[in-house]
Amino acid sequence: MSNFDSNMMKDLSLFGTIFLGLLLVQCQPDDAPAVVPEVSFPINISAEETEDNRVFEFPVVMNQSTTRDVILYYETRPLTAEADLDYIPVSDSLIIRCGTASANIQVEIIVDEFVEEDEEFRLVLTGSTNAILAGGVQEAIGTIRNDDSVIAVTQEGHTSAESYPGKTLVWSDEFNGNAIDLENWTYDLGASGWGNQELQNYTSNSDNAYVANGNLMIVAKEQGISYTSARLKSIGLQEFQYGRIDVRAVLPFGQGIWPAIWMLGDNFPTAGWPACGEIDIMEVIGSSPSTTHGTIHFGADWTQHNYVGQGTSLTSGQTFADEFHVFSIEWDANGITWLLDDSPFYSVSPNVVGSQPYPFDHPFFFILNVAVGGQWPGYPDATTTFPQFMAIDYVRVFQ
């Protein structure tokens, strides 16, 4: 052995002694008095739902290094975020080796392309070995911040017949193209503060109304302290007198949200409202998202406005936001019958108007809109979520 090698061995030996000494100080046998650290879990994590943030790391901090291995028991619990939909649920334990004072607990979130509310889950430390949870059960909140703009629409729900005995499909918009068909639809613009005291500003922007995945999408958005939405109408483009009309739609929901599928008489620009007549095929007040209303408005002039109508409700806690339903009228010279998913729930005959003129005997055009606020629905509050959307699969007219 050379002199050089001998010196190196002495150094290694000295190093080994010091290293072993450190281990003995830091990690004691089970029967030695233990240093019991306090564990806290002080940091909430808030991050956008992106691939870069796919793993939320929650730091665990101890007030001193442990002299034994510490075991922490933890689990996720849902708040507004849902297990297996928004994050991967965990219920596990973490071993923190003696001599360390911090660690991370990881929760994987689920990244998709669809718009969601910002959603929260809890990560709870439920127990510990060789450590104390400072102040009892410790928890941190994970907030998954939305970064998407694509609205997901279910395809589930009721579908109406493609034909009826003795009737012919005279017109439909199936919304199966790439854009709103301007041979069928034009836009109402503005409207904030119109007669119903609505809040929304109707636009022709492609983020308030667009065609995607076979549906017309009308999207009400919160933009600062105001709201935008869209109102499409077929005036001068597609107007019909009588027929079976089917509209398949998923509706928005929430306090102050007011979707409608309705019609006005084609003489609206000259005769005015309500003399032109109004047929509400569907109106839903978002705070009662299980009830649709069928209504007609009439009267020789505004001072003689009158209306009759009736609602019908889904059962078992279902809402019109859950899946598609078909809103229909059967309209002929004998009157109008409203149907929900092919079941009639209300009818009127011409004598319903009493001494007022009966206006439902000439062509009408369609209006499709999502209003925000108004005298009937009231106004959005803290429970109202945005964006809210109405998806329309088709509008069909059979005669």
Please give the positions annotated as active site: 278, 283
Minimum distance, C-beta of residue 46 to Ca ion, in the bound complex (Å): 15
Contact between 393 and Ca ion per CB under 5 A: yes
Name which position in 57, 82, 108, 112 contacts Ca ion (CB under 5 A).
112
The count of residues interacting with Ca ion (CB under 5 A) is 10
Minimum distance, C-beta of residue 116 to Ca ion, in the bound complex (Å): 5
Minimum distance, C-beta of residue 280 to Ca ion, in the bound complex (Å): 22
Contact between 173 and Ca ion per CB under 5 A: no
Minimal CB distance residue for Ca ion: 214
* Segment lying near Ca ion (by CB under 5 A), choices 15-23, 167-175, 202-210, 352-360: 167-175
Residue ranges of alpha helices (H) inside 235-339 are: 268-271
- DSSP state for residue 24 in the 8-state scheme: H
The residue length of the chain stands at 399
Site residues (CB under 5 A) for Ca ion, limited to 28-57: 49
* Residue type at 115 in one-letter notation: V
d(CA 258, CA 274) in angstroms, rounded, equals 20
d(CA 248, CA 240) in angstroms, rounded, equals 18
Contact between 330 and Ca ion per CB under 5 A: no
Q: Which is nearer to Ca ion, 59 or 157 (CB)?
A: 157
Q: Is 292 helix (H, G, I), strand (E, B) or coil?
A: strand
> Could you tell me if 345 and 282 are in contact, meaning their C-beta atoms sit under 8 angstroms apart?
no
Minimum distance, C-beta of residue 110 to Ca ion, in the bound complex (Å): 8
* Segment lying near Ca ion (by CB under 5 A), choices 109-117, 120-128, 134-142, 273-281: 109-117
Minimum distance, C-beta of residue 111 to Ca ion, in the bound complex (Å): 7
Contact between 148 and Ca ion per CB under 5 A: yes
Contact between 120 and Ca ion per CB under 5 A: no
* Segment lying near Ca ion (by CB under 5 A), choices 71-79, 121-129, 148-156, 338-346: 148-156
Could you tell me the CA-to-CA distances from 208 to 174, 176, 202, 238, 259 in Å, in that order?
Answer: 19, 18, 8, 22, 14
Q: Which is nearer to Ca ion, 94 or 212 (CB)?
A: 212
Site residues (CB under 5 A) for Ca ion, limited to 182-221: 214
> Could you tell me if 199 and 191 are in contact, meaning their C-beta atoms sit under 8 angstroms apart?
no
Q: Which is nearer to Ca ion, 173 or 266 (CB)?
A: 173
DSSP-assigned beta bridge partners for residue 261? 282, 368
Site residues (CB under 5 A) for Ca ion, limited to 236-275: none
d(CA 301, CA 240) in angstroms, rounded, equals 23
Name 293's Cβ contacts closer than 8 Å, sequence gap at least 6: 280, 282, 283, 284, 285, 309, 310, 311
* Residue type at 232 in one-letter notation: L
Minimum distance, C-beta of residue 150 to Ca ion, in the bound complex (Å): 8
Contact between 174 and Ca ion per CB under 5 A: yes
Edge-first strand listing for the sheet containing 38-40:
102-108, 55-62, 38-40, 132-133
Q: Is 322 helix (H, G, I), strand (E, B) or coil?
A: coil
Interface positions with Ca ion (CB under 5 A): 49, 112, 114, 116, 148, 174-175, 214, 393-394
